[in-house]
Chains A and B, each alone.
Chain A
Amino acid sequence: MWTYAARRMLLVVPVLLGLSILVFLLIHLAPGDPVTVQLGIHATAETAARLRSSLGLNAPLPVQYALWLNRVVRLDLGTSLYAHAPVAELIAQRFPTTLALTVASILLSLVIGVPLGVVSATRRDGIIDNVGRLFSIIDVSIPVFWLGFLLILAFAIGIPVFPPGGSVSEYGPIALVLPSVTLGASFAGIVVRFTRAAMLEVLGEDYIRTAQAKGLSTFAVNYSHALGNSLIPLVTVVGLQVGVLLSGAVLTETVFSLPGLGLLMVGAVAARDYPMVLGTVLFVAVLVVLVNLAVDLLYGVLDPRVRYE
């Protein structure tokens, strides 16, 4: 088990390095020279000169990368052109909201999606199955930002309960409800699909037949034996969709004006606040990689075949 964990953690390092290289290259994509990119056109000559030397712009690219990487590892992601504050600080401020939104959405999507997927598989081609598959494919087709609008129209205007937008600090946690419902419902379609597929595959295995031959009730066979085996791949697959969820979170925050990481990034894009944009991208990418690692390790814990290797 520990060899498994160690192996997984080692594999992450090259990916993180690769990520950082990609982001570093992106910086050089921006129009204008990196100093302007980092400081904006209104920077004073001194600041520009200081940055120029610290960036080592005359040095070859790999050296610049090393210098940049050095700063990044110390959590110095530059300064926001727009807000005149360190990027890292702003990210830390906004991140909890996005985290809360994402977690709530995952939970909601599991609550809706897993039962539907399970029943879909156990009563294959029945009414619930057809409804479930139809729901799934329609749900996947509805853009999350449109769904947000529809929910605002329905709830905040038609039945004024939830605020149509605004932050947690303004309205309290209730501000998270509609956005979580939006993102959660949007993700539920994929969950239904995965659950159904995992269950169907498990139900076709030999050990299910053995369980039936022992005289176990259908309920015991489906839930005790089949679901237990399905949950493991399901959890890992869902965990791997974190990237998709974060993208969805960005869009949802925009619709609901929820001040999280997503809205921060979108604002930065509009303001051409390059350090902020790149800092956020790097943060999010690293986060996704780390979550994937966590999911991998979780899999190692849940599956006894791996646990006791």
Chain B
Amino acid sequence: MSDHSTNVNQTLSVAVAGNAVLEWTDDGWLGRLRRNRLALVGTAGIALFLSVGLFAPLIEPYPWSQFDLAHRLSGPTLRHVFGTDQFGRDILSRTIYGARVSMLVALAATAIGTVGGVLIGAAAGFFGGWIDELSMRTMDIILAFPQIVLAIAVAALLGPSLINVIWIVGLLMVPQFARVTRGSVIGVMNLEYITATRTIGQSEVMIVVRHILPNIAGPLIVLASLAIPGAIITEAALSFLGAGVQLPEPSWGNLLSGGNAYLLQAPWLSIFPGLAITLAVLSFNLLGDGLRDALDVAGGPA
């Protein structure tokens, strides 16, 4: 029986001037997600960028490294839809290839972050004690560094390359995942512990494993969908600063830095790759927001 008084308390005090109310039917999170138009737009965008990345060699009109000195620095034309750079390389092709790089880094780095974070977080939550203290303090220290600053430093030390970028971005994501996992594990532990103490040692682990996964799936999915765009931007920033993917291999970031010198003459060198980053990140953000609303999970910035 719905308790009107608490509902009233929750919604009463919004000093609002007339507004619409969602007519909610309880068809679960997927239904809610499907009705969120912006989230659907985001999903479409993600699908677009993923396929572009996947099929890059098949889609690009020209090989990204191919020079066309006759048409250097030409603006958008039918021949070169996004224009060409100072070597006559087709910007569209390079942007498409850049999509591949960005998607690869974002997904691989997020995978590293998730796996690492879940392992550390689960261990911290499950074992508690000094393992918990030590790992969480370490996570705090990593989080204390401004991300890009730390990433640049490590990249400088290890030498910039695609693999290194993936590792760096991935490791930077571990603390967030560790925290969330640890929180969920502790939450579950408090629930199940009472029954778990009555069972044999082995069953305890099984119960925890069988019950943790469904519980953390929600917040982790939301976190992942919001971490991926961060990874895209971090990689782009690193490449932009020269600490990431190195020219001539195109990444959206280094395309932007490459366009810096020709900003006045050939702005399209900078406009299109930046637009690509924005749209890709926006797509993931829209979906991530939608997921968070649909799953009713309090995600948000740490």
Contacts and interface: CB of A to CB of B under 8 A. Distances in A.
- A and B in direct contact, judged by CB atoms within 8 A: yes
Interface in B1-29: 9-17, 19-20
Contacts of A90: none
Chain A interface size band reads: 35 or more
9 smallest A-B Cβ distances: which pairs?
A: A146-B274, A247-B148, A243-B146, A208-B13, A141-B282, A18-B141, A141-B281, A269-B156, A209-B13
B13 A212 contact: yes
Given A203-B13, A251-B241, A126 B277 contact: no
A141 B14 CA distance: 30
Interface in A205-253: 205-206, 208-209, 212, 218, 221-222, 226, 237, 241-244, 246-247, 250-251
Contacts of B11: 204
A158 B71 CA distance: 25
B146 A31 contact: no
Contacts of B14: 124, 200, 203-204
A277 B152 contact: yes
Interface in A268-309: 268-270, 272, 274, 277-278, 280-281, 284-285, 288-289, 292
Contact of B157 (A153, A222, A254, A274): A274
Interface string A1-37: 0000000000000110011001000100111000000
A206 B14 CA distance: 10
Contacts of A174: none
B243 interface: yes
A226 B289 CA distance: 26
Given A140-B285, A141-B229, A143-B277, A126 B19 contact: yes
A170 B153 CA distance: 29
B12 A209 contact: yes
Interface of A: 14-15, 18-19, 22, 26, 29-31, 122-126, 137-138, 140-143, 145-146, 149-150, 152-153, 157, 164, 190, 197, 200, 203-206, 208-209, 212, 218, 221-222, 226, 237, 241-244, 246-247, 250-251, 254-255, 265-266, 268-270, 272, 274, 277-278, 280-281, 284-285, 288-289, 292
Nearest to A142: B278
Given A143-B278, A209-B13, 15 more contacts: A15-B144, A18-B144, A140-B285, A141-B229, A143-B233, A145-B274, A146-B256, A146-B275, A149-B263, A243-B145, A246-B146, A250-B152, A266-B152, A270-B242, A285-B146
A247 B147 contact: yes
Contacts of A137: 282, 285-286, 289
27 contacts: A18-B137, A26-B153, A29-B154, A29-B158, A141-B278, A141-B282, A142-B278, A145-B274, A146-B275, A149-B259, A149-B260, A153-B263, A204-B11, A209-B13, A218-B17, A243-B144, A244-B147, A246-B146, A246-B149, A247-B146, A254-B240, A266-B152, A269-B242, A270-B242, A281-B149, A285-B146, A285-B150
Contacts of A141: 229, 278-279, 281-282, 285
Contacts, number: 178
Residue with the greatest number of chain B CB neighbours at <10 A, chosen from A14, A221, A250:
A250
B16 A29 contact: no
Residue with the greatest number of chain A CB neighbours at <10 A, chosen from B140, B144, B155, B267:
B144
B264 interface: yes
B159 A146 contact: no
A18 B159 CA distance: 24
A289 B144 contact: yes
Contacts of A281: 145, 149-150, 153
Interface in B144-182: 144-150, 152-159
Contacts of A123: 16-17, 19
A285 B150 CA distance: 9
Interface in B242-297: 242-243, 256, 259-260, 263-264, 267, 270-271, 274-275, 277-279, 281-282, 285-286, 289
B237 A204 contact: no
B287 to A, nearest CB: 11
Contact of A250 (B12, B149, B159, B271): B149
B236 interface: yes
Contacts of A125: 19-20
Contact of A149 (B145, B152, B155, B270): B270
